[in-house]
Chain A
Amino acid sequence: MEAKGRIVRVSGPAVTADNMTGSQMYELVRVGEEKLVGEIIKIEGNKAIIQVYEETAGLKPGEPVERTGRPLSVELGPGIIGQTYDGIQRPLPKTQELIGPFFKRGFAIPSLDRDKKWDFTPSVKVGDRVVGGDILGTVPETPLVTHRILVPPDVHGTIKDIVKEGKYTIMDEIATVETEAGDVKLKMVQTWPVRRGRPYKVKLPPDTPLLTGQRIFDTFFPMVKGGQGAIPGGFGTGKTVMLHQLAQWADANVVIYVGCGERGNEMAEVLERFPKLKDPRSGYPLMDRTILVANTSNMPIAAREASIYTGITMGEYFRDMGYDVALMADSTSRWAEALREISGRLEEMPGEEGYPAYLASRLSEFYERAGRVLTLGSTERIGSVSVVGAVSPPGADFSEPVTQNTLRIIKVFWGLDKTLAEKRHFPAINWLTSYSLYSESLEEWYRRNVNPEFLELRGKALWLLQREEELQEIVRLVGPDALSESQRVILEAARMIREDFLMQSAYHPVDTYCSIEKCYSMLRVIIRFYEEMGKAVERGVPIKSILSLPVLEDIARMKLAPLDEAVKVCKEIESKISEQFNSLYTTLRR
């Protein structure tokens, strides 16, 4: 593009330029002498308003603005897994190599390594008909992810040329497709505009849980592959820890972690830990399936706004290969604040709490890009993107606009509770207010894959927790003396569920991950104990002697049983329960 614009106003990240006739919404531009990266977010006559992805101090009215004619896009291809990017997909390790540990501006680095050679194995041959989404070939990118090189969505025709198995860079031409519009040469890399969802054939209803290894989620409030969830909570209640847990243990093929306006040290933590942690299913380092997008709170806020789109576009790309992708965004509130700040600079009409009126629609557009889909391509392939967003409500008050607008969209609500966090009950998920709208559609799955009895146990446990709340209210008003023995049984059982089941330390080497089988076995033990307790009290055994049974200590520690022994350990505890209650009765009879 030849035409050059000219800066007329600078206000923080928002820059206005004139002489911009012909530019398009979301077009990428280069701003000022230093060619800072920016994107057009509003057009008024011959003026364009640009959000700039880098620090704008030093920009002057009169400096030039160059148009590129293309929208903000990401590069997709081998080399993406294991990377750490900023909000506009600049690779941070390379950035450090180039400019050191402190950011400077105006630098450009390609998102993917141009020189690295990958082992490409073609899966089509000359003469094959291909359509968008078909697999041209594969690259073993990491031990955990086989990169499927796809025909871009808008290309279809006949393979005229395809390279042999061998080593190629992403810039090498690997195939030529003869199409109606002429020959199209394909490389292993393709680009896609971040603000446009990648196409698929049809959305499918979710039917499989996204297991997370976290007892409270997998047992009570399950997520699904292709689902949408949110985890709101005040500061220090455990959003980041839980998102890190999901990133570590969720049974997805690819994990994308978007650190969006949060702490630098938290990204450093992931970078230090993930290469050492092993995927519980395959034994390979978790970094081998992870992509990080890190645009921390002190990095330019416009890039923060873009970061979640950068993240989800990469997610859709792996979905299109037929993979299950899990994306976490920490925190969507910081993204919304970026939106608010830029809107404020544009002097737009503010809505609730200063957020722009389009906050709700932007949020739902983002979450709508989650889902389980039948992908493009001539063979049947199913892939999914699951999205979980942290929400950081001011003053932990969930009535604020970002939380409220998010709740209208998402299907899984994991509500964090300040009181629980202060008591160090972790994860501090409130079991009374949290919900999963997927629970019902997953019932069949649990019956078949875990145990037919699972749902009944879960129902009992939830009932106990609810009853506990009502009984606690009585205790608060008139004291514990007012309760009957059988009511105390409920309180004790609920306490066991809370402390021996729901509490799960993210930092304990064993407890950090719990398989669904282990969840089931543990729950069975507790419900078993509860039922025995009820019977015993009916037969006149005082609660006090029940509470001094030695098996209680075993129950308190069953969560620490290693995965491969847990089922056995729980079985043994169950028989101890029978034995010890029986001996109670014997003493009673004497």
Chain B
Amino acid sequence: MSKTILTGKEYSTVKEIAGPLLFVERTTGISYGEVVKIRTPTGEERTGQVLEVDEKRAIVQVFEGTSGLDVTKTVTRFTGDTLKFPVSLDIIGRIFDGSGKPIDGGPEIIPEDERDIHGAPINPYSRAHPSEFIQTGISAIDGMNTLVRGQKLPLFSGSGLPHNLIAAQIARQAKVLGKEEEFAVVFAAMGITSDEARFFREDFEKRGAMDRVVMFINLADDPAIERLITPRLALTAAEFLAFDYDLHILVILTDMTNYAEALREISAAREEVPGRRGYPGYMYTDLATIYERAGRIHGRKGSVTQIPILTMPHDDITHPIPDLTGYITEGQIYVERALHMKGIYPPINVLPSLSRLMNEGIGKGKTREEHRYVADQLYYAYAEGRSLRELVAVIGEEALTERDRLYLEFADRYEREFINQGPYEDRDIEKTLDIGWNLLAMFPETELKRIDPVYIKKYHPKYKEKKES
């Protein structure tokens, strides 16, 4: 029944198969969370993990799915070990599948160490608060929702929207001003199409960046449950490179919606009491074990910055996937369909977007001293303009005051001149703020209530031109 071979205990006592789960009977000495190797009746090997164990039985989730498994011929081998990823500096430039096997035809990785893919929580006391401005060259981000090194800032998008283009642009252009170090990119794909994966790969290759990229690819037709480990492999790689080798790592995780679907599948198979819309009640905590693996650590040089991408089902921001993500990440960049339809790229609506670490990363010596005030004034003006747009839709433009008309016009120009830019246009922060000022110059000075008069005198085009001439 059970025999201990070189590594682990073998059982062929599968009692029941339900969805991605195997129920293995008459087990002893199995530990919670250990890795299980499963041999299918046709001799193929799959990997699983113990989800629950008691004295007589273990419940195993199979990452590659259970199709083709049966209760008589399937053999399970409990390895006694947790899921590990062999790390090495040589993983840079390599491409792996969703469970960490090289798929680029390159040599085997000779590991420097084996790391548990679940990582270990960072002691909050050991964290250094992120504060270094990352210039992405995208005005909607740099000017309004600034990203800093060590932040986790997701793109909230919808199907068919250009989130990949934006993510690739960030990966291409991201830099910390005054620092030489470039970012290395760890890219994890969960259930995206092969076209999308190819887009990223070609984008990296085109600019000769592949030697600074590590890719983990689980495609749409790859096993769904494997998606539960893909982002963890990527983050294990990222943490290793950041905290053992002092690199600055940008992690792109796409699409977290597919990850959450896999989580729901497991939960349904275990017949757990579902939380909202069928997603498990522990989804917040589970997502946190991914997103919290970003940051900086006192005394270590490297950093992990995360840009997860998720597509909101029905563009609904209250759906549990974006909702719970927003509760964990340090803000979000909101990609909006309406702006996309208008032909604006990047179609980022700055109002529901947010960067909670912006204040740490901007201001004197980082971006520019008046950055906060300009951003606040632009927010105020754009919010006014957008709510007036709604009003106009009901009552027509005639009823508006002169002031109102100005705000309406501002909103249009703001979208066309400030937000809109090319996917290969790399605007520096000076340029971004200057565009902002040019737009604000539409208003009489008395409207610029959010800006300290000192800065108006210093940066308002009216005074600037005078000074320069």
| A582 at the B interface (CB under 8 A) | no
Contact mask for chain B residues 23-56; partner A; CB cutoff 8 A; 1 contact, 0 none: 0000011111110000000000000000111110
- CB contact under 8 A between A58 and B32, given known A261-B285, A341-B281, A422-B351: yes
Query: Which stretch from A20-28, A100-108, A372-380 is at the chain B interface?
Result: A100-108
| B130 at the A interface (CB under 8 A) | yes
Query: Which stretch from B96-104, B249-257, B352-360 is at the chain A interface?
Result: B352-360
Give Cα distance in the complex from A9 to B281, angstroms. 21
| A294 at the B interface (CB under 8 A) | yes
Residue of A nearest to B150 (CB): A265
B281 touches A59 (CB 8 A): no
One of B125, B292, B299, B372 near A93 (C-beta < 8 A): B125
B376 touches A297 (CB 8 A): no
| B369 at the A interface (CB under 8 A) | no
Interface residue ranges of B323-365 to A (CB < 8 Å): 323-324, 326-328, 330-332, 351-352, 354, 356-357, 359
Query: Which stretch from B157-165, B210-218, B268-276 is at the chain A interface?
Result: B268-276
Give Cα distance in the complex from A265 to B151, angstroms. 9
Contact mask for chain A residues 478-510; partner B; CB cutoff 8 A; 1 contact, 0 none: 111100000000000000000100000001000
Least Cβ distance of A356 to chain B in Å? Answer: 10
Please name all residues of chain B whose beta carbon is closer than 8 Å to the beta carbon of A507 when the two chains form the complex.
Answer: 359, 372
| A448 at the B interface (CB under 8 A) | no
Give Cα distance in the complex from A488 to B91, angstroms. 66
B379 touches A101 (CB 8 A): no
A268 touches B128 (CB 8 A): yes
- CB contact under 8 A between A479 and B399, given known A95-B123, A337-B281, A423-B379: yes
Please name all residues of chain B whose beta carbon is closer than 8 Å to the beta carbon of A56 when the two chains form the complex.
Answer: 32-33
A344 touches B281 (CB 8 A): yes
Residue of A nearest to B49 (CB): A57
A268 touches B54 (CB 8 A): no
A499 touches B449 (CB 8 A): yes
| A394 at the B interface (CB under 8 A) | yes
One of A59, A62, A476, A478 near B28 (C-beta < 8 A): A62
- CB contact under 8 A between A296 and B124, given known A301-B285, A423-B383: yes
Least Cβ distance of A268 to chain B in Å? Answer: 4
Please name all residues of chain B whose beta carbon is closer than 8 Å to the beta carbon of A450 when the two chains form the complex.
Answer: none
Residue of A nearest to B56 (CB): A61
Interface residue ranges of B281-328 to A (CB < 8 Å): 281-282, 284-285, 288-289, 292-293, 295, 297-300, 318-320, 323-324, 326-328
Please name all residues of chain A whose beta carbon is closer than 8 Å to the beta carbon of B34 when the two chains form the complex.
Answer: 57-58
A297 touches B292 (CB 8 A): yes
Please name all residues of chain A whose beta carbon is closer than 8 Å to the beta carbon of B383 when the two chains form the complex.
Answer: 422-424
Give Cα distance in the complex from A268 to B360, angstroms. 12
Please name all residues of chain B whose beta carbon is closer than 8 Å to the beta carbon of A478 when the two chains form the complex.
Answer: 395
B331 touches A423 (CB 8 A): no
Please name all residues of chain A whose beta carbon is closer than 8 Å to the beta carbon of B332 when the two chains form the complex.
Answer: 236
Residue of A nearest to B378 (CB): A424
B273 touches A57 (CB 8 A): no
| B1 at the A interface (CB under 8 A) | no
One of A101, A259, A263, A556 near B298 (C-beta < 8 A): A101
How many residue pairs at the A-B interface have CB separations less than 8 Å? 211
Please name all residues of chain B whose beta carbon is closer than 8 Å to the beta carbon of A62 when the two chains form the complex.
Answer: 28-29, 55
Least Cβ distance of B367 to chain A in Å? Answer: 15
| B177 at the A interface (CB under 8 A) | no
Give Cα distance in the complex from A16 to B31, angstroms. 14
Give Cα distance in the complex from A62 to B292, angstroms. 33
Q: Which residue of B29, B122, B272 has the most chain A CB atoms within 10 A of its CB atom?
A: B122
| A399 at the B interface (CB under 8 A) | no
| A272 at the B interface (CB under 8 A) | yes
A268 touches B124 (CB 8 A): yes
- CB contact under 8 A between A297 and B284, given known A92-B124, A103-B120, A268-B129: yes
| A365 at the B interface (CB under 8 A) | no
Residue of A nearest to B399 (CB): A479
| A552 at the B interface (CB under 8 A) | yes
| B391 at the A interface (CB under 8 A) | yes
| B121 at the A interface (CB under 8 A) | yes
- CB contact under 8 A between A479 and B395, given known A101-B123, A423-B379: yes
Please name all residues of chain B whose beta carbon is closer than 8 Å to the beta carbon of A143 when the two chains form the complex.
Answer: none
B354 touches A9 (CB 8 A): no
List 8 A-B pairs, minimum CB-CB distance, nearest first.
A57-B33, A479-B399, A297-B288, A101-B126, A395-B318, A9-B54, A235-B326, A92-B125
> Can you pick out 20 interface pairs between chain A and chain B where the beta carbons lie within 8 Å of each other?
A10-B31, A11-B51, A60-B30, A60-B31, A60-B32, A101-B126, A101-B299, A265-B129, A265-B357, A268-B127, A271-B125, A296-B121, A297-B288, A297-B292, A340-B281, A344-B272, A353-B275, A422-B383, A424-B380, A553-B446
Known: A267-B124, A341-B282. 16 other contacts (CB 8 A): A9-B54, A10-B52, A11-B32, A11-B53, A58-B31, A61-B54, A62-B28, A96-B125, A264-B127, A268-B124, A269-B129, A271-B129, A301-B282, A422-B352, A553-B449, A557-B449
Which residues of A approach B to under 8 Å, CB–CB?
A: 8-12, 16, 56-62, 84, 92-93, 95-96, 100-104, 234-236, 259, 261, 263-265, 267-269, 271-272, 294, 296-299, 301, 334, 337-338, 340-341, 344, 350, 353-354, 392, 394-397, 422-424, 475-481, 499, 507, 548, 552-553, 556-557
